[in-house]
Amino acid sequence: MQGAKPIDTIRVLTGEEAIDAYKVLSDESRRQILHALRARRMSTTELIDFLSKQDPEKEIKPQTVRYHIKELEKCGLVEQDGYEPAGNGDSHIMQKLWRATAENVFIATGDMDELPDQAESELDRTLDIIGTMKQLGFELKDKQEMKEIAEAMTKRDKIYLRGLQFAKESLGEICEIDPKLYMLFRSILSLVRLEQNDYLDYWEISRKITDVLREAYERGKGKNPRVY
């Protein structure tokens, strides 16, 4: 990945953040932009050229591409990463460069009811879960196993969200708190305030997910490239 600074290997989105990202990535052009920005930094002009090559018969308007970039930026999927001279490089006008914030995005949403309906093929292109797992050294049996993992994560997230609202309300009463401490105690409070049955279910589901992923990693160890 070429850029002024390295990007994360993987980013996991959950809860409302995951739902927002899912909706944004339901648009094919945005998925194409995100894919391009995983490879290198690009300007809006370069992205227009890139999209035009993907579908030569489709008119690509600059304002539409700028809108797509802003939507991706709102979700934290892309970010500005420097400037470069516009045109052939001899211009005094500088244009923004954009890049993806992570090489792979894993979406584990906690409220599937809020997601728009999509065909299974669209879902596969959006999440790209299988490819991410392989890059990280996991060898899943098939897509059915991946589906079961995703469903388990969804169920676990729904439980977590029951305690999240209380956590936000409690932390909202504190006037000043370090952002890192806020995230730490939000996670802690979201779990400790769960009802006993929910608390036990949360950790039971987490254990099952971990067991499946450990087995998948053992199968893939030595076969798939390691990611640094």
pTM above 0.85, yes or no: no
Per-residue pLDDT for 14 more than 90? no
Report how far residue 97's alpha carbon sits from residue 107's, in angstroms, rounded to the nearest whole number: 25
Query: Which segments of 86-142 does DSSP mark as H helices, in order?
Result: 120-127, 129-135
Helical (H) or strand (E) element with 66:
helix 62-74
The hierarchical CATH code for the domain 8-127 is: 1.10.10.10
Please report the pLDDT score of residue 10 as a whole number: 67
Report how far residue 119's alpha carbon sits from residue 125's, in angstroms, rounded to the nearest whole number: 10
Please report the pLDDT score of residue 197 as a whole number: 94
Per-residue pLDDT for 105 more than 70? yes
Please report the pLDDT score of residue 130 as a whole number: 56
Alpha carbon 3 to chain centroid distance?
20
**For residues 199 and 110, is the Cβ–Cβ distance under 8 A?**
no
Please report the pLDDT score of residue 94 as a whole number: 85
Q: Show the tokens assigned to 42.
A: 């690009």
Beta bridge partners of 50: none
Please report the pLDDT score of residue 131 as a whole number: 57
Kindly report, as residue ranges, where domains of CATH 1.10.10.10 are found in the chain. 8-127
Alpha carbon 162 to chain centroid distance?
22
